[in-house]
Chains A and B, each alone.
Chain A
């Protein structure tokens, strides 16, 4: 009976250690994923900003007027 208890305690102790290692690695993995997502979000935001500015520079009244002028000249 005492041998069984000893094995049980060892088993529980090992299980706790394994769980701790798992939680730690999960924590690291999720932190890494969070950092990667943050970096990706920042990249996408930057890309969006660039595209928005590009769009603004193409559809603003000055650019449109210039393009209309050019197309009239071509005709």
Chain B
């Protein structure tokens, strides 16, 4: 009686209290899973050319734990995959993973069919990411890991959209874990969405082609070029050097992965002067005809130290002449007239000290300290590009605003997201910007008069950016790089930059070229007007010809 009661109690315990545990354990034993991986979405340029796409490849693999005679298996497999038997044998014997040794990737159907007949050898389908344009837009597009997760660039930022959603088939399995029959599918397999960029591969090639020549000629540390459409803020090209080959990530210095146009900041130097001039005109602290005394090249005062000119001193200059001759003292005096608050707020309006919101990971804000932290040095240095750090993307945005008649623009890289049938699911172009941050006539004067003078006038620093067919506007910048080990600036290291756009009457593109640390000892020059201006001019010429913009 007691035994029956004990047996009944045990049965009740197993059936009632432990039933869930044992039913789960039995399901684990009975079931086998097969993962279904979605195809990662494509990344296209604005004309539909493939920048990144996934394709299925067959991988022939060995399962060492079931192979009894590695030598025999290797000898049978060697002629099929065209790999030495001793190599295959070594791979099988020395593998740390008893379930999987990759023998050959991208095998053809004949090889797969023949290999799968050998005991212990299997064939597996994988998605492999391809970048047909290689290095061309590598810093923008980024790359993925072996398991198809985005690790850099657009691949990282839009990983969720590009990845799609996986599913898995659940099977009843026999004792050797071989599927007997399908039970159900867990999840719905959805391929990743495609992304269309604003980048035009042809313009990207023009920019990269021209930039790389100068980068190598001047043995520079790094270089950046951006081509933007000022009316919309669309980025047509964005080049970062040194770059990398997305097909050969392992041998690349990780420093080259980043897109320097948004991750690297620098003191911009004189290139920022047109922006400060526009702020000053807007604030009414200076007018277009007024002459400002530039102290013959030596300006000294209590609270702001000594300010000199880049080459020679100047006497009385108008605002236009200050910009054409790139006078530091003239700009310092304008800064003093503006004062801390108005200068700070003006630069903030142009987007300095904040992210541009471009769709790439790792963008930094730059450095524009709050006005209450400024000293007398700040109001005299910031107007000619010291004590402020900017990214190339912030600079191009500011000049797009000027070229756009003072109307705000936001740079963007993603034109649209498309589904698997090619239908647009999301238009990514930001809504038309609202409002003018400076008056239209102020912006027009800065671009059409002052910045055109920089290119065309005698003494202008941008003469090398002149073009035969189009009237160009521009501004150079030659910024000292601050020493890392001591106070002050290095006399050897510079950032040579140049911003330009064309045609003046209705700017179709704005180009920024920035070359860091051109080798001064080569004796070929190091200033923005010498190093960066010719690159900007060539990019503009080739791009306007390509875009079929009629000559002026």
Q: Which residues of A are interface residues toward B (Cβ below 8 A)?
A: 42-43, 46, 49-50, 52-53, 56-57, 60-63, 65
Contacts and interface: CB of A to CB of B under 8 A. Distances in A.
Contacts, number: 45
Contact of B134 (A43, A52, A62): A62
B130 A53 contact: yes
Interface stretch (B201-209, B301-309, B448-456): B201-209
B370 interface: no
Given A43-B109, A53-B130, A65-B205, A60 B55 contact: no
Contacts of A60: 49, 132-133, 136, 201
Nearest to A61: B205
Nearest to B130: A53
Interface string B26-65: 0000000000000000000000011001011000000000
Nearest to B53: A53
A43 B109 CA distance: 8
A53 B134 CA distance: 12
Contacts of A42: 56
29 contacts: A42-B56, A43-B109, A46-B56, A49-B55, A50-B55, A52-B50, A53-B53, A53-B132, A56-B49, A56-B50, A56-B132, A56-B133, A57-B132, A57-B133, A60-B49, A60-B132, A60-B136, A60-B201, A61-B133, A61-B201, A61-B202, A62-B133, A62-B134, A62-B135, A62-B136, A62-B205, A62-B208, A65-B205, A65-B209
A39 to B, nearest CB: 9
Interface residues of B, number: 18
Contacts of B202: 61
Main secondary structure of the interface of B (DSSP, over half): mixed
A63 B205 CA distance: 10
Nearest to B205: A61
Given A60-B201, A62-B135, A53 B50 contact: yes
Given A61-B133, A61-B201, A65-B205, 10 more contacts: A49-B53, A50-B55, A56-B133, A57-B130, A57-B132, A60-B136, A60-B201, A61-B136, A61-B202, A62-B133
A61 B136 CA distance: 9
Contacts of B50: 52-53, 56
A37 to B, nearest CB: 15
A61 B55 contact: no
Contacts of B49: 56, 60
A67 to B, nearest CB: 12
Nearest to B209: A65
A46 B201 contact: no
Contacts of B205: 61-62, 65
B324 to A, nearest CB: 36
Interface string B108-147: 0100000000000000000000101111100000000000
The 8 lowest CB-CB distance pairs between A and B, nearest first, are: A61-B205, A56-B132, A57-B132, A62-B136, A49-B55, A56-B50, A60-B133, A61-B202
Interface string B174-213: 0000000000000000000000000001101100110000
Nearest to A48: B55
Nearest to B200: A61
Contacts of B132: 53, 56-57, 60
A61 B204 contact: yes
B247 to A, nearest CB: 10
A57 B208 CA distance: 17
A43 B56 CA distance: 9
A57 to B, nearest CB: 4
Nearest to A42: B56
Contacts of B136: 60-62
A43 B135 CA distance: 29
Contacts of A52: 50, 53
A49 B56 contact: yes
Contacts of A61: 133, 136, 201-202, 204-205
